Structure 1
Amino acid sequence: MGILIGVIIVLFVLGSMMALKPNGIDQRLDNLRMTARRLQLNPKLVTCPDWIKGRDNEYGRGMMGQYCLVLENTQLPHTRYQVIDGQWRPDSSFVDTTKDDIKLNIPSAIRSTQSSPDTAIKKTNFSLDKVPLDLPVSIEPSVKGLLTKANSIIIYWEDIAYVRPSTNPKYQQKAIESDLLALKANLEKWALQMRKTTAK
């Protein structure tokens, strides 16, 4: 009887330890995010922003990966883009209320919602409009949006889709770094394109 109780206790302890072990997808996702962190892409899991279509194709629903590249000695315009037909398209609902020399005339209906009458509205730089994503095939279908502000360019994507067998059946651990380097190179390229347009 004592041996049986001992075996049950050992099995219970082993079962508890196995339950705490992350599953394969969680391990893959952790590896993806650790690699992104090493490449200075600063990954975070965030609530889907209200201007991006998230879970079930509804705006602001669910969680998604936010990968942020901070660019030293760089000033980017405050813009938001969504992915439509494999291209960046400006978020049409976005109005930048930071002060700047470039003024934009806005309808009184929108103007009345501003906090003060002297708020200057900056004409937003949408230089990435209709620029193709041109990302690795394992990443591109999961990309949802892009945000630039100050010295940061941030991409929102469902990074868990990258590691799920159902959404990325050709997943290979050795491809993570090269895919993320391609993502980083594109972020740098888009930031440079925006800077050139802003400088004109």
Structure 2
Amino acid sequence: MPHDHSDHDHPHALLPPEPALRVKALETLLTRKGLVDPAALDAIIDTYENKIGPRNGAHVVARAWTDPAFRAALIADATPLVADLGYYGRQGEHLVVVENTPEVHNMVVCTLCSCYPWPLLGIPPGWYKSDAYRARAVRAPRAVLADFGVTLNEGTAVRVWDSTAEVRYLVLPLRPEGTDGWSEEALMDLVTRDSMIGTGVVTVPE
């Protein structure tokens, strides 16, 4: 559900900082004990970063930009549609797509932990899991967007969606001007992970 940007205090905010450091320490310990094969771990990470990753989400976005019927169905009920494209599985069971418009810019956060649509976006970035982002995205979304280099028009509202264990969100960013007639593949190259979280916008390189 979207937030009204009022203050929210969650007990999960007391979790220790720097999750990447905790993960690295755990990986080192398990490797030393012979419980983890570093090569196998690297292969898993590569899969999520490059195969089960943002390219999948970019495919969905580009299809929505070029196919009005697909876009309407995606916004109405995204989960079965993306499953038909082969994007399903753990942390992708119930997906909701929220569309950016000139009037509304959507941004996604998980205020309790780091719920994230892995089948479409891959592994969540470190900043998405940080206490700072989880707190500030709700309380000061425009300031967070400014930190990412995104400045919206005064008349554009910001709507923040809180992912949960039951529902995960994908932002359908605005299609940039000057891309009429572009192929789906070319459009996919423009779509970034951050634009599908809402902390970025899609632009055409100069």
TM-score, normalised to structure 2, is 0.27
Q: TM-score, normalised by structure 1?
A: 0.27
Structure with higher RCO (Cα < 8 A, 6+ apart): 2
| Rg (Cα) greater in structure | 1
Structure ranking higher in strand proportion: 1
